[in-house]
Each structure stands twice: as structure tokens, then as C-alpha cells.
Amino acid sequence: MPEIIKVNGLCKTFGKLQAVNNLSFSVNEGDVYGFLGQNGAGKSTTIRMLLTLIAPSSGTIELFGKSLSSHRKEILSQIGAMIERPDLYKYLSAYDNLKLFAKLSGCKITNQLLMNQLEMVGLADRAKDKVKGFSQGMKQRLGIAIALVHNPALVILDEPTNGLDPQGIADIRNLIKSLSTEHKKTVVVSSHLLNEIEQVASRILIIDKGRKIIEGTTQELLDPNQTVVDIETNDAQKTYTLLSALTWKNHLQPLINDKISLTLHKHQIPDLLRSLVKMNIDVYALQQRHSLEDYFLKVTSGNYVQPV
């Protein structure tokens, strides 16, 4: 796959603050690229440099195989972006907002194409409604429609689910998936909502204090052998004792506050359930806790040593 974004040695300082520190990464065509970091890690600063909203202190940025510094206008015409919450005209309708932003971007677009854009983000039935009555999730979806109005090859979304309720988050998640699978866009998604990135991203970059911690596919970063399973039963002590007498003893973590946890390969979970049934243990809950969030907390704790 060709590289859509190639960043090398990127740095940005604000006075004495090193916001981005020697950051290098690449985004391939067709990726849903998850850009992860805690608040203040340098995600938004990096995105603003990709969009030429601020200038790098040093380093290089290439998009579509060309230098951003010397091909700015050409490159930006192929990018659609939404930075956190979109700025919309609340007394205009969704359709009129989209039409206005299409004109501002220089697009010659038909009424049908505008309606197709609203259909893509699930707002066709609210096209004539004023934005002032929209939920935050609807505003976010309209902001994404605006970012897509000129049919860009690359879509950059900075914290697109920020401040949304669970339904709004699910709507944006599904929209991001459809942008990749149905509309063949390359998507960069910056977020601190780690579980959401885990569900949509094909590749992931984790940064901390402006520095790259690790980059790779979700499968590469999440080792299935290190799946943590938490079990809630009617008698934690009895369950722990029975499991300790079997081969599960090699997977058990110490029993703390009646919390039973095992570290194992995810393919062993069905066998664990069968063992619990044979022991006549009443299982109230079994939760797989191996997630990108666990990994993220591990690598940003300051104690992680990256394998050589």
C-alpha cells in the first residue's frame, strides 16, 4: 500500500514546552489509523501541523508522496478534517450549512450530491432542520459531512466523539467504519477513548509527552496470550481453591478482595467456562479485560520497555 502520510523527526516547541518530540510515523492508503495519547500528549498539535495550522519547529511532513511545505495547496485540497467540535451556523439548516461550506471550499456541487452527503452521515431526514435543535452527535456528523463535501482522499478527525453520549459515540464509530469500507477513504482518528479506537482502527500509534511509544496493527499490539479474565461467582474463595487444584493454577493471579483473575490465551476461555460448570460453580459474570486500554495504560505508565 502506498504511504498517504509520512512524518519524519517532527518537533514542535512552544517556549520551553516540547509539545512534539522527534515524532515519526506513516499512514498507508486505506488505513483507519488510530492516533492515541493521553490529554496533552501532542495529538492535536501534530494534527494541526499536518493541516498547516501551525508550523513545525523541525522535521518533515509528506502527504500523497509530496512535501507539505512546497505543495501545500495541492495537498490540502485532498484532505477533509474536523478538529474537535465543528463550527456551524446554528440558525441555518443542515443542508444550508453544507451548501455554504461547499461554496467556501470552491466546490461545484449539485443539490443531489449535497443530499447524498447528508445521507452518508445519517442526516438526510433532518436536512431542512435548523442546527440549533441538533444534538451534539448530530452536529458532529454534520461536521464530518462538511469535511467530506469536496470528496477528499484523506479524512482527519480530531476527537470526533468528544462529549457524546453512548449512542452518539456508536453513530460516529459506525460512520468511521463506513468511510473506510464503503467509501474507500483513508482515515486518521485522534482520540483518548481507547475502546473506540480498538473497535475501528486497523493500525495504531500511541504517543506520550510528544514522543512515539509504539506503532503497529491492532493484532501486533495486543497479544492474545495475555488476555485477562475476571470472574464473579457465588463463592470466590471456594472457586479459587478449586481452580488452584487444576492446571488453571498456572494462570491464576493472587486473590485480592475476592476478585478472581486469570491471565491466559483468549482461546482458553471456553475451556475455563466448562471447568467452572463441571465444578458446579455459579458464575455471575465473566469479563475479558484484555483491551487496548490495558495496553495503553501499561505503555504510558513510564515503566514500559519496548522490545528490541
Same domain assignment for residues 93 and 142? yes
CATH of the domain at 242: 3.30.70.980
- Asked if residue 296 is part of any domain, the answer here is no
- Asked if residue 298 is part of any domain, the answer here is no
What pLDDT digit, counting tens, does each position of 119-178 carry? 989 999 999 999 999 998 899 999 999 999 999 999 999 988 888 888 888 888 999 999
Query: What is the reported pLDDT for 308?
Result: 42
Average pLDDT score over residue span 183-196? 89
| Residue that finishes a domain, picked among 173, 195, 219 | 219
| pLDDT over 70, % of the chain | 96
pTM value? Answer: 0.81
What is the rounded distance in angstroms from the CA atom of residue 274 to the CA atom of residue 142? Answer: 48
Helix axes of 94-104 and 111-120: crossing angle, nearest 10 degrees: 120
What is the rounded distance in angstroms from the CA atom of residue 222 to the CA atom of residue 89? Answer: 42
| Residue that finishes a domain, picked among 219, 251, 273 | 219
Which candidate, 53, 70, 80, 63, places its Cα nearest to that of 4?
A: 63
Instruction: Residue 41: give the domain boundaries.
Output: 3-219
Same domain assignment for residues 148 and 70? yes
Is residue 101's pLDDT more than 60?
Answer: yes
Which of the four pLDDT bands, split at 50, 70 and 90, describes residue 68?
very high
Same domain assignment for residues 160 and 178? yes
Number of domains in the chain: 2
Same domain assignment for residues 257 and 137? no
- If one counts every other C-beta atom within 10 angstroms of the C-beta of residue 133, the result is 9
62 backbone dihedrals φ, ψ, rounded to 5°? -120, 135
| Residue that finishes a domain, picked among 191, 219, 247 | 219
Query: What is the reported pLDDT for 11?
Result: 97
Same domain assignment for residues 149 and 283? no
Same domain assignment for residues 207 and 234? no
Same domain assignment for residues 241 and 215? no
Same domain assignment for residues 55 and 199? yes
Same domain assignment for residues 165 and 285? no
Which candidate, 147, 157, 148, 138, places its Cα nearest to that of 43?
A: 157
DSSP state of 76: H
What pLDDT digit, counting tens, does each position of 255-296 carry? 888 889 998 888 999 999 999 999 999 999 998 876 567 777
